[in-house]
Amino acid sequence: MPELYCDDPFERGFYDRDLAPVPEALVRRLFRTVPDLVARPQDGEGVARVLERARREGRGVTPRAAGTSAYGNAVPARGGILLDLNGLRGRAELLPEAGAVAVDAATRWGELERWLRRRGWALLSYPTSAPGSTVGGWFNQQGFGVGSLRHGRMHEQVLAARIVLSDARVRELGPDTDPPLGWFAGSEGTLGVVTRLTLRVRPAPEREAHHLVALPDAAALEDLSRTLAGWDPPPFSLHFADGEFHRLLEEAGHPAAQGLTLRVDLDGSAEYLEDARARLASAAGLRGGRVLGGPAALEDWLERCFEVRVKRAGPVLVGAEVWLPLASLGRFLEAAQAVGRRRRRRVFTYGTVASRDHCLVNAFFPVDAVGWRELPSLGLVEELQSWGLRLGGHPYGGVGLWNAPYRTAILSAQERAELSRRKARLDPGGLLNPGKLYAPAHLLLRPGLFRPGLRALGSVRISGRRDGS
């Protein structure tokens, strides 16, 4: 099918942003985020033709699927062609003997899960952005979310993929090909364009059960999370949220639990669920926790993909996403609260236990608007990220544009060298997603400038909204 091109300024304007609450005037001063041209292919051959054209015309190409990443990952840094992949959606094929499904890259996680459930199968894991985000997008990002605790990182669930390389060759790649499929996992659209993936799935579980545990403090939350994550097998998923998150939810008009909670998602046979429930009640009791009755746990589970509904209390949420050792969870939650109290901001935290020893924590706070007046609040983001770094973690969400100052904390020296080697081999002309992952796209985003700059901004006192006492 022929691909579509659009150079209409109004249409192109929709692609110049994501969820990052950065003032537009600042973004436009640093980057050329509006693409010169939008290309919308319908299949892998169409993607190859777009890349051929880009090479001919010497334009960079920014792949974009649902655009739910939040650090400018899918936003152009230097204009060029925006490759809108949303035409590559659906065409799912179940492969029961392999316990796998093959699907086009821009298929939404939510629609794939529904499609599988109707056939007696289920996804192993998915991000909480599942209603909107795509299979190919998560493969190009970090790949930890709901179900990762039990089934591991999404990257390890992908058996094969069709990928268009920067020279427009279409390749079927797997673990033993040259280049191997693993090179492309988490590469943020800088090494190739994924058009179709084959990923492992599981027979739909016999039964599911969800429990919500109220806990007295952050230390108890950490302790219980570590115990449950160490179960064999671990729960399908563990999700935590603090009291401030619940208060803001209530204020936004959503019913919510109170205090610090841990949601425990279990699946398996009736006997397993009964046994696990008893073990959970005992483990929670030992730490001063209480398993809540009534519909609270099920409601929390049903809203698992809508945490950002708390934004209604905002209207804008600013904050840090942190990949953290599970053993640092309690100290991080306490530090986030202390930062909030000192800065008089309503910092709230929620997150997921991503593996036996790591968790993903979101520490956010509401602000009035995205604008120059709120710029000092970015200093608080740096403060929260610094706590994550101090406690052995690093920013999550990929490098993109805005995490570039933390690149050396996110990727080890060895990982950076290996990535550069792959880039030099697969995309020597720097066609794909230019300005991302390998070096900051602007001088101001160098760690030595950006981080001290944010800290200095954070000390600026402005009049206007302040929360708390």
Q: How far is CA 223 from CA 245, 289, 290, 419, in A?
A: 20, 11, 14, 36
Interface segment toward ligand FAD; rule CB under 6 A; list 111-119, 131-139, 175-183, 208-216 = 131-139
User: Is 103 near ligand FAD (CB under 6 A)?
Assistant: no
Token match 């009640």: residue? Answer: 281
**Nearest CA-CA partner of 362 in 377, 374, 375, 347:** 347
DSSP string, 117-185: HTTTEEES-B-TTTTT-BHHHHHTS----BTHHHH--GGGGEEEEEEEETTS-EEEE-TTSSS-GGGGT
Provide the minimum distance between the beta carbon of 235 and ligand FAD in the complex, in angstroms, as a whole number: 16
Indicate which single residue of 86, 129, 198, 403 sits in contact with ligand FAD (rule: CB under 6 A).
129
What is the total count of residues that contact ligand FAD (CB under 6 A)? 31
Distance in angstroms (rounded) separating the CA atoms of residues 458 and 155: 37
DSSP string, 334-392: HHHHHHHHHHT---EEEEEE-SSSEEEEEEEEEES-SSGGGTTHHHHHHHHHHHHHHTT
Interface segment toward ligand FAD; rule CB under 6 A; list 38-46, 136-144, 241-249, 288-296 = 136-144
User: Is 385 near ligand FAD (CB under 6 A)?
Assistant: no
Residue nearest to ligand FAD (CB): 137
Interface segment toward ligand FAD; rule CB under 6 A; list 66-74, 167-175, 253-261, 324-332 = 66-74
User: Is 188 near ligand FAD (CB under 6 A)?
Assistant: yes
Distance in angstroms (rounded) separating the CA atoms of residues 453 and 450: 5
Return the amino acid letter for 202. R
User: Is 362 near ligand FAD (CB under 6 A)?
Assistant: no
User: Is 235 near ligand FAD (CB under 6 A)?
Assistant: no
Interface segment toward ligand FAD; rule CB under 6 A; list 188-196, 231-239, 365-373, 407-415 = 188-196
- What are the tokens at 367? 């602000």
Within 421-440, which residues bind ligand FAD (CB under 6 A)?
433
Q: For residues 146 and 351, is the Cβ–Cβ distance under 8 A? A: no
Indicate which single residue of 33, 68, 107, 328 sits in contact with ligand FAD (rule: CB under 6 A).
68
Nearer to ligand FAD, 165 or 283 (CB): 165
Q: For residues 377 and 318, is the Cβ–Cβ distance under 8 A? A: yes
Indicate which single residue of 141, 157, 166, 261 sits in contact with ligand FAD (rule: CB under 6 A).
141
**Nearest CA-CA partner of 196 in 294, 295, 95, 117:** 95
Distance in angstroms (rounded) separating the CA atoms of residues 441 and 418: 20
Q: What one-character DSSP code corresponds to residue 204?
A: P
Neighbours of 98 (CB within 10 A): 13
Distance in angstroms (rounded) separating the CA atoms of residues 256 and 158: 36
Provide the minimum distance between the beta carbon of 133 and ligand FAD in the complex, in angstroms, as a whole number: 4
Indicate which single residue of 79, 80, 127, 366 sits in contact with ligand FAD (rule: CB under 6 A).
127
Task: Enumerate the β-bridge partners of residue 194.
Answer: 163
Interface segment toward ligand FAD; rule CB under 6 A; list 29-37, 122-130, 277-285, 438-446 = 122-130
Interface segment toward ligand FAD; rule CB under 6 A; list 140-148, 233-241, 336-344, 440-448 = 140-148
Nearer to ligand FAD, 65 or 173 (CB): 65
Indicate which single residue of 37, 74, 165, 241 sits in contact with ligand FAD (rule: CB under 6 A).
74
User: Is 193 near ligand FAD (CB under 6 A)?
Assistant: yes
User: Is 194 near ligand FAD (CB under 6 A)?
Assistant: yes
Token match 């939510």: residue? Answer: 110
- What are the tokens at 383? 């403060």
Q: For residues 258 and 215, is the Cβ–Cβ distance under 8 A? A: no
User: Is 166 near ligand FAD (CB under 6 A)?
Assistant: no
ω into residue 233 within 30 of 0, thus cis? yes
- What are the tokens at 428? 């020597």
Indicate which single residue of 46, 60, 80, 189 sits in contact with ligand FAD (rule: CB under 6 A).
189
Indicate which single residue of 30, 204, 252, 308 sits in contact with ligand FAD (rule: CB under 6 A).
308
Task: Enumerate the β-bridge partners of residue 193.
Answer: 164
Nearer to ligand FAD, 31 or 343 (CB): 31
Return the amino acid letter for 29. R
Indicate which single residue of 51, 105, 185, 317 sits in contact with ligand FAD (rule: CB under 6 A).
105
User: Is 85 near ligand FAD (CB under 6 A)?
Assistant: yes
Interface segment toward ligand FAD; rule CB under 6 A; list 64-72, 203-211, 242-250, 375-383 = 64-72
Return the amino acid letter for 89. R
- Interface with ligand FAD (CB under 6 A): 19, 63-69, 73-74, 85, 105, 127-129, 133-134, 136-138, 140-142, 144-145, 188-189, 193-194, 308, 433
